[in-house]
Structure 1
């Protein structure tokens, strides 16, 4: 008798969904959205689409039906007050505050380590706080499939079906179907590939074998930490030291001592890519629209704001006059803004900084931030 097969066919004692814990990394400044997004008020704290909800609030709201109160949030220490104001539901022990940026490897790795010390059987799902997703129901369906797939011992990424040959995203090469109960669309991942050239991106799109890498991961915390330990042992040891002290009175002391010593590395390099090489990664192709709101052209595309004579206007009480113009105006002042005879313009008006560009050049806003930093004008960054 093959007892191994009998063991494998025994239904799990706990429903995988009951072991799910959502993690929201809320980091990054969003320099291509300056001067609206800044170090002290990054893009996830803003309502960038005119929906009435900030990006971080919308992220939380679409995860809660899956996780309930099991939500852990990782963000910068400087954002504590704003985050707690927008998400008062987050318990103090589930609010992880970084004393300095250490990239996604440390942020997501610490979340995994904390959850592991509490319950080694936890399945975590990491979803960035600054993405726009719709419809929410299809996103939640994909996450459920990812949870069932993760329960079989996989790190699962939710890929996005490409709508065009983008050179701004990494890609995932999809392999064979995995035939997992509860996850009919699960496939193996052959490999992750970096942001391609235009010609290569067009090849990827034409092949139908690639998905965009949206940075969404669902995995058993034990498997995440297994690969982290194998590939970044120093990072792993530091994160576990913090995690062991997390639910004790020593939390802050240990975190403040260890965190600055941790190496900086993205979770893709520390875990996802080596795990894919080991055959431990799966993908759920997401049948929903997704955008990381990377620039003002994205805001113009995604905004639900009404147009004022072919110009989208975002900002409560905005005072904008337009004639023979197109584009977008984002303002948090009461200053009158008049656009006459100008096409595809982007105007962002704040009390201490004004940006004027075009949609075609919106990806270059980061250069202004770099230039201001080089000149020492950090008060507006």
Structure 2
């Protein structure tokens, strides 16, 4: 299945992926999901926010156990971030059926819309809308680099943008959510284990910094007469690194927009996006406050710390530990829990957990720790171990 997905949205010049939400690549990925659900005789549904659900059993009778992830990507991203979780969900269902297992509760596979936020700047749009965290009016007015709004692109894709918003009917079908994801770091490499369990997601957010000046001619404007916004922007980037080290957090300026963006003109406006994350909210907030002195600053997204429910987390750690301890052929036989580790990466599982849905995450080892890059990778054997671990977790929860 990963090989089938590998051709969709791939940039041949870089081998990276560009899979913006509601783009032609995204629509093709949605059709792939529909095809996999249909092959397995699952009940396919698309909710009012564009999230896809494939059900084994009827969740209207009782809330189900759901797994899955997303298929969109950051621009020039890798092949595993998101797709590994969706592919592993279908593969885990195949494993369960191969065992002759019949779930006592409905079992669902989810594909969330616009988890990365690459097109409109806000991550986890589908799950944020579903849970009511993101205001529909704000969402519809989000604009991409070409000036198209979310409302525009949804309408072009044949969806009604004015139906988006909190979806209690869909939310009520999710009794428990488990998301498998490639690890975006080297924690499992250091612990020598192919699969682990998430303990928490660090608090994180995105802020837009607007530095304003006066556009002018690069050759005729004296240095003393310039109002060049590139200077305070450059100071902010350097200060972000220094303050982040002091506060014990991480800070990244990965996107910049310069107006008018001419090589022979002093800019009139520099807009920069700061991504900041850390173990504590206080450290992240202190960093943003200190940097926001020479710019107009707008908070575009914020996710508080997510401490996954301990009883569910510990239950999964035991099941996964049993799987890893006895090889990838099945569960049982081990008594050492799988590694439990935090992450600084945001996920739909975190949004659902914050909304009160019992949620957990499994991580599959990434040998280099590189993510959001074409170099992102996971070994075949580790992916298979992840599938069987997920199957064992689902079997345990569906009992």
Task: Calculate the TM-score normalised by the size of structure 1.
Answer: 0.27
Kindly indicate which of the two structures has a greater share of residues assigned to helix.
1
